[in-house]
Amino acid sequence: MGWSRHSRRPGHRRNGLLPANAEVAGRVELDGRDLLDAPEPVLRAVRGRRVGMVPQSAATHLTPVRRVGSQLVETVRALRPADPDPRATVHRLADDVGLPPEMLDRYPHELSGGTAQRVGLAAALAGDPPVLLADEPTAGLDRPLVDRSVDLLAGMADRGHAVLLITHDLRAARRVATDVAVMYASRLVEVGPADQVFSDPWHPYTAGLLAALPDRGFTPVPGHPPELTALPSGCGFELRHPEHTCAPDPELVWSGERAVACAPVRAS
């Protein structure tokens, strides 16, 4: 699976989640096929089976008038038609994500945010997809459940699955990621192997995020993020870091395995 950011198609939303007036840039390729232009039959074969997704605010993605267990059973039946016992598979998935069995009999409005997030993770794992997109999968979880969920994602990666973890939890990222991409104000500002980026950040925003960790001094990043509806030119971080100068067009500049925007590139 690959991505690029070279084309822009205003209003393009075929079979997507964005509104009709959204602008979609680039390509999302799976086995050489651009999924942004794929017809519904192709996407139906991809969703859940080839690419799974853990959404933010998982409770809003559940049917409110059906119990959680029945929704997960339906998901397993759809994604694993040869499964001889979908209910047993659901109980195994629930155990994998730390979801108590009694929660399967509840309706979505009876779940806490963290419990709903575990339901969303179980649904995403139901088809055992080779690619998993996890958007803040640990939101609302206490630390032991965060670690359990992260270990589950790391285990998938160890078995050869591709896991794209979107998170503000740097501790979780450090446990899972082999490579990281840091974004500020919707733009990539640094990319590289996780161990190198965490030990030697090149962009001042990355350095600020790491300095804010409890084990690194708990020093907050000064200032406030820009309004996303009125982004400045460049990466925008100079509004919070006067010594940092943003380039007018903050493209990533690569040096070996690493890339950084709006900052001097170091020799790798």
Q: What count of other Cβ atoms lies within 10 Å of the Cβ of residue 47?
A: 17
Total structural domains within the chain? 2
- Residues 96-138 pLDDT 10s: 999 999 999 999 999 998 899 899 999 999 999 999 999 998 8
**Domain end residue (candidates: 175, 192, 220):** 175
**Domain end residue (candidates: 175, 210, 242):** 175
| 214 and 132 housed in the same domain | no
| 75 and 124 housed in the same domain | yes
Q: Which of 113, 194, 114, 182 is nearest to 148 (CA)?
A: 114
In a domain? residue 42? no
| 72 and 171 housed in the same domain | yes
Q: Which of 90, 147, 95, 158 is nearest to 123 (CA)?
A: 90
Residue identified by tokens 């040096």 is 255
Q: What is the DSSP string of 140-172?
A: T--HHHHHHHHHHHHHHHHTT-EEEEE-S-HHH
10 pLDDT exceeds 60? no
Residue 148: burial class (beta carbons within 10 Å; 0-12, 13-18, 19+): middle
CA dihedral for 26, 28, 31, 34, sign (positive or negative): negative
**pTM, two decimal places:** 0.83
| 145 and 256 housed in the same domain | no
Residues in the chain: 268
Answer whether 139's CB lies under 8 Å from 113's CB. yes
In a domain? residue 20? no
- Residues 193-248 pLDDT 10s: 999 999 999 999 999 999 999 988 899 998 888 887 877 777 778 878 877 777 76
- Residues 135-194 pLDDT 10s: 998 887 888 888 888 988 998 899 899 999 999 999 889 888 999 999 998 889 999 999
**Domain end residue (candidates: 124, 159, 175):** 175
In a domain? residue 36? no
CA distance 16 to 36: 8
In a domain? residue 1? no
Q: What interhelical angle do 68-79 and 86-96 show, nearest 10?
A: 110
Q: Which of 117, 124, 195, 196 is nearest to 156 (CA)?
A: 124
Give the per-residue pLDDT at 2. 52
11 pLDDT exceeds 70? no
In a domain? residue 110? yes
In a domain? residue 13? no
Q: What is the DSSP string of 70-93?
A: HHHHHHHHHH-TT-S-HHHHHHHH
| 101 and 131 housed in the same domain | yes
- Domain span at residue 81 reads 47-175
| 113 and 193 housed in the same domain | no
Q: Which of 77-81, 148-152, 171-175, 258-262 has the highest mean pLDDT?
A: 77-81
CA dihedral for 148, 154, 159, 165, sign (positive or negative): positive
**CATH number of the domain residue 170 falls in:** 3.40.50.300
